[in-house]
Structure 1
Amino acid sequence: MPPLPDQPDLYAALRASGAAPGDLPALLAASPPGVRERLAQVDRGLLRAVLRAGRGEPPVPGAAAVCDWLAQAPVAPLFRPALAAGALRVLRADGSDPAMPAYSDRAFDAWFAATGARHGLGPWGEPRSVYATAQFADAASPERRTVHLGIDVFAPAGTPLFAPLPGVVRHVAYNADPLDYGHTLILEHEAAGGQRFWTLYGHLAGSLPGLAAPGQRVEAGRHIADLGDWHENGGWAPHVHVQIMTDLLDQHGGNFFGVGHASLWDVWQAICPDPDLILRLPPGTFAC
C-alpha cells in the first residue's frame, strides 16, 4: 500500500490515493508518523467517506435512498402553526447583510423582533465566517469547517418543537462548549428497506431531559423539545439547528458536526442532506 504524502491537505491525498475504505488501516500504517498522528485526530467515518468519494463511489452507501424516501414520506410540522403559515425571513450569516447582528450577538434578538417575521431561517450549505476560528480547525487540513450542514429556525425561547417523523431517541446531551449546541436531541429513524438515518435538533432548552429519554419511542407530532435561551443553547439567539444525518460516522456521544469543509462539500451533503426534506418550506424560500 503506497504511503500518503505528508502534505498540508491530507483529504486531497486521501482522495487521490485510490484506496478503498477497508484499506484505511493499511494505508495509515504505511504512511509517515506525522501523517498518522494528524489523521488519528480525525473521525474515521469521515475518512472512509472521503476514500469512497475519491473512488467515484457514493460517500455514504444508501444516502440517496434515504433522500428519495424522505422526499415522499408524510412529515408532521416541526412548529405549530407550520412554518409555511407565517411570515418568514431568511437570515444569511455570510456577511451579505451588514445591518444584521451576528447570531451570537445579544443585539440580534431586538433586531429580529423589529423585522416582524414569525420565524427566521438560516440556510443549509451557507459558508459562514463565524466558524473560521480554532474551534473549527482540522488536523488533516488547514481549511476550517465553515459550511452550514443544517437549517436554523429562529423563534422565541420556549417555543415548542414537535417530531416531524416517528423514531427512537438516540441521544439527549448537553454540549457545553461556547458556540456549541447546548442541549441537543438526536432521533433515529428508519426509511424503506430498513435504511437508518438520524435527525439532530440543537440549541434546545433545559426542558429537554424531561421530554425525551434515550431509547424512548417517539411518534410524529409529539412534543419533543423547546427552543433554548442564551444561557442554555450554546450562546446563540434562540433558534433550533435542524440537521439530517445519513451516517453518524464515528460520533457516538450525542454531538455531531454542524459545519463542514467547503472542499469536501460533495461528501458532506451526502452525510447531511438538505433538511428541507423534512421542513418542507415554501418553494424558493432561499432563492437569492
Structure 2
Amino acid sequence: MCVSCPDQPCRGRPAPSCQIKARRATLRHSLPEEMRMTEVLPDVADLYTALLQSGVAPEKLEALIGASSAAVQARLAQVDQGVLRAILRKAAGGEAVPGVTKLKAWLSTAEVQPVVRPLPDHSNARLLRADGSDPSMPEYSDRAFDAWFEALQLPYGTGPRGEKRSCYASDQFADAASPERRQVHLGIDIFAPALTPVYAPLPGVVRSVSYNADPLDYGHTLILEHDGGGLPFFTLYGHLADTLPSLVQPGDSIEAGQPIAHFGDWHENGGWSPHLHFQIMSDLLEQSGNFFGVGHESLMAVWDDICPDPGLLLRLPEGLRRA
C-alpha cells in the first residue's frame, strides 16, 4: 500500500504522483506554522467566509496575512483589521469583542436618561421600514420623504435595527474582502424635525466631534466614551446639525441628560431626512471619528458583538426598534 495514498496499491514503489504528494506533505509539516498558512486563506471572492472557516487564532492574523498571496494581502490591507480579528474570535467560539456579554447585561439594567424628550412610544411614533415593504414610503434619502412623514402627523418615526435596507446596495457599502454589501442597519433611527435636541443617555467623555461629508454618510457626528461597569464602550450620534462643535469638544466630560447635539437638516447631515442615528459600539476597531452604520448580513453574529442592540439604552417599545 502507498504511504501517501493508503487506499491505493502501488505494487512496491509509490507512483511518481504519490511521491510528489509525500514530499509536499513532509515539507509542509517541517515549515513554521506561519509559512504553512497559505493553504488556509485562498484568494477567493469572499475572504470573510474563508476567515471564518480557517481555524486560525486571532493572534495569528498578521502571520496569516503575511503568508497569503500578494492579491490576498492587498485586499485585506483595505479592510479594518479589527473586524478581521473579531471574525477570528467568533470563529474560535468566543466573543467577537471580549467582555461583550457582560457589557450587554450591564446596558440592559443601567440607569439612563432619554436621548430625545419625550421618548417615542406607540402613542406618538410609528416604525418606518426601509426594506421596501411599504411601497408608499419614499426612501429616507429622497426629499419626498419629508412631506410623506409630515402627513403622518406624528412627532416621531423610528427606523429599526437589524433591517436589510435597499438604499445601502451601492458600491459605497462594499469592501475589498467580499462582494457582499453592508446592508443590515446596526443603529436605531429616530425621525423628528431638524434642530430637535439630543441628550446624553449616560455620563461619559467626548471621544470625537467630526464631519463625515460623503453623500449618505453621517454628516456631523459625535462619539462618546462610557464606562459600562468597568468595561469601556461607545455611543455614536449621526446626522447632526452644525451646532455640534459649539456644544461639545473632544475631551469634554458629559453628564447624563446633558444636551449634546441637535438633529441636522439635509445640507449638513449627509443628505437624509432629519433624524438621529444612534448606535452602541463595544469596540471602535480601527475607526476614528466615524464608524460602520451597517453590517454584512452573513456576519451579523460578529456585528452583534461589535455593535450591541442600541435599544438596550434607548428603552423604546419593542415594536419601534426591531426589524
Give the TM interval when normalised to the shorter protein.
over 0.9
Give the greater-gyration-radius structure (CA).
2
Number of residue pairs matched by the alignment? 286
- In the alignment, which residue of structure 2 is the partner of 1:285? 320
Deviations along 1:139-194, whole A, 9 cap, x unmatched?
A: 000100000010000000010011011000000000000000000000000011x2
- What TM-score results when the alignment is normalised by the length of structure 1? 0.97
Aligned 8 A contact 1:146 1:259 in 2: yes
Q: Give 1:84 deviation, angstroms.
A: 3.1
Question: Which residue is equivalent to 1:128?
Answer: 165
TM-score, length basis structure 2:
0.87
Q: Where in structure 1 are there 5+ consecutive unaligned residues?
A: none
Matches within 5 A, 1:1-80: 1=34, 2-3=37-38, 4-80=41-117
Shift of 1:117: 1.6
1:140 aligned residue (174, 177, 198): 177
Q: Do 1:169 and 1:212's aligned partners in 2 also have CA atoms closer than 8 Å?
A: yes
CA distance in structure 2 between the aligned counterparts of 1:283 and 1:99, rounded to whole angstroms: 24
TM-fit CA distance, 1:86 = 4.6
Alignment gaps of 5+ in structure 2: 1-33
Distance across 2 between alignment mates of 1:16 and 1:101? 40
What amino acid maps onto 1:240 in structure 2?
A: L
The runs of 4+ residues in structure 1 deviating greater than 6 Å are none
Which of 193, 200, 203 is residue 156 of structure 1 equivalent to? 193
1:98-137 matches, cutoff 5 A: 98-137=135-174
Q: 2:121 aligns with which of 74, 84, 102?
A: 84
CA deviation digits over 1:225-272, x for unaligned, max 9?
Answer: 0000000000000000000000100112x0000000001000001101
Quick one: which of 197, 203, 206 aligns to 1:169?
206
Over aligned residue pairs, what C-alpha RMSD do you find?
A: 1.2
Identity %: 63
In structure 2, distance between residues paired with 1:85 and 1:102: 22
Is 1:245 aligned to 2:281, yes or no?
A: yes
Counterparts of 2:253 and 2:102, CA distance in 1: 23
SS in 1 for 2:162: coil
Partner Cα distance (1:134, 1:90) in 2? 27
Question: Residue type of the partner of 1:37?
Answer: A
Shift of 1:287: 6.8
